Amino acid sequence: MASAAKKAKFSSFKAKSDEQINEIASQAAAIEFPWDKVSPVYFTDWLDVFSKAYGTSKQLVFMSILPTVSSLLGLSKLKATTTYQENLSLFSLCISPPSGGKNQCFAFGCKAPIAKVEKNGASCILDKFTEVGLRQHLIQNNGVALTINEEMEDTMRQINTDREGGTLCRLFDGDSIYINSGINSARVAIEKTSVSVSGFMQVR
């Protein structure tokens, strides 16, 4: 009886949780994106045609392009004021409906543009990572990394389970990190970093 009561309580909690998530997603979807403030009309019009041709939305394509551009700019800085420069690391998460076009967004907004500028077979893209793997990746790519995944749920769960959040918070600010090679205990320093994290999830 106790086990049945627990199952019923869990089912009720899950139903309420799912209802709240769907409500939040619906409210977010109703918010109009201020295109006139973020891009010129010719680009918005082109993006609209392009996204419809591939069965997705311009909002999702745009949110695939942004972290890609951020990573390609690498260690550049955005001059916010005459005395302050902001690191270009960008963390974003897009929630889309099933069959919203996540794969197309990843393919044409991120993977294809990155492939055009990759050199010597190296890529700044990571779909999954461990802290050690991310640090090694940063050494090999001059401090630049782009973690993007069209199915971000597993990656988010991994970040939470492996407690990688602290490392990502440091990298968001472009902090330097230090790595001991483990072979001869040599310390490798990465003085500047630029890490963007982005991906897509669907409401369940």
Question: Mind listing the pLDDT tens digit of every residue in the chain (204 residues)?
Answer: 556 666 666 566 666 777 777 787 778 778 888 898 888 999 999 999 999 999 998 988 998 999 888 888 888 888 878 888 878 888 888 888 778 888 898 888 888 888 887 765 567 787 777 777 788 888 888 888 888 888 887 777 777 776 767 778 878 887 777 776 665 666 777 778 888 888 888 766
Distance of CA 72 to the CA centre of its chain: 14
> What type of residue sits at position 21?
I
CB 193, CB 143: distance < 8 Å = yes
CA angle 197, 198, 201 (to 5 degrees): 140
The pLDDT value given to residue 195: 86
The pLDDT value given to residue 150: 81
The pLDDT value given to residue 41: 93
Rounded to 10 degrees, the C-alpha dihedral 158/161/162/167 comes to 80
Positive or negative, the CA dihedral 125, 192, 177, 91 is negative
The pLDDT value given to residue 48: 93
The HSE-up count of residue 150 (CA atoms within 13 Å, CB side) is 15
Backbone angles phi, psi at 145, to 5 degrees: -150, 145
Angstrom distance (rounded) from CA 82 to CA 95 = 36
Contacts of 40 (CB under 8 A, 6+ apart): none
